[in-house]
Amino acid sequence: MPYKFLVDTHHNLCIKCKGCMAICKNYNKTPKGVNRIQVVTINEGQPGQLNIPLMCLHCNDPLCVKVCPMKAVYKREDGIVLVDKDRCIGCGYCAFACPFGAPQFPEGGAFGSKGKMDKCTYCVLPYEPEKDEKGNVIYRDPVPRCALVCPCETILAGEMSEITKKLRERVGALTASKIESLFLF
């Protein structure tokens, strides 16, 4: 049951309302200058302009996990990629490895230690998971707020088979050559 983000770029749905950015900042209480999600515009003002929400996509094979010398960045069984700020030394290897620019290194404040990596948590942190009577962790179904508020459903989030099904319904009869414009990692 891996959880993923899928950004539908083929249908050019994003209207750049930045609701995803606002809800993320509010829900996660990130400090000024830290944006776990950004809306990037490609070919601005030209034919073919495309707005793309970019955030950690919780990749199938995350490079950030592979390059972290302290093993601070890890992937949970449910596919969500997180960082242990107690282990992070702020080396920045993850930032160089990530093709989406998701890792950030905020400085100071009540949010975190200076230079520790920060990124999208799929809205599962800083909240502690519940435990059953035997002490086993019970992961709740994560609900990333950015996907909830996206009025155009550009950001799809959830269990991989569910969002893939939704995408297939959208794509319909598109040829395989056109599907390459969909980001799925």
Question: What DSSP line would sit under 50-112, residue for residue?
Answer: EEEEEE----SS-HHHHH-TT--EEE-TTS-EEE-TTT-----HHHHH-TT---B---STTTS
Q: Which amino acid is at 174?
A: L
- Contact criterion met (CB below 8 Å) for 7 and 155: yes
Rounded to two decimals, the pTM is 0.79
- Contact criterion met (CB below 8 Å) for 159 and 2: yes
Domain ranges of the chain: 3-179
- Contact criterion met (CB below 8 Å) for 25 and 126: no
Q: C-alpha dihedral over 60, 61, 66, 72, to 10 degrees?
A: 0
Q: Token digits for 149?
A: 């508020």
- Length in residues, the chain: 185
Q: In this structure, how many other beta carbons lie within 10 angstroms of the beta carbon of residue 132? A: 8
| pLDDT one digit per residue (tens) for the chain, 185 residues | 678 888 887 778 899 999 999 999 998 888 888 899 999 999 999 988 899 999 999 999 999 999 999 999 999 988 899 999 899 998 999 999 999 999 998 875 444 556 789 999 998 875 566 677 887 766 666 779 999 999 999 998 888 888 888 888 877 745 544 554 555 54
Architecture of domain 3-179: 2-Layer Sandwich (3.30)
In eight-state DSSP terms, residue 164 is H
Q: Token digits for 159?
A: 């269990």
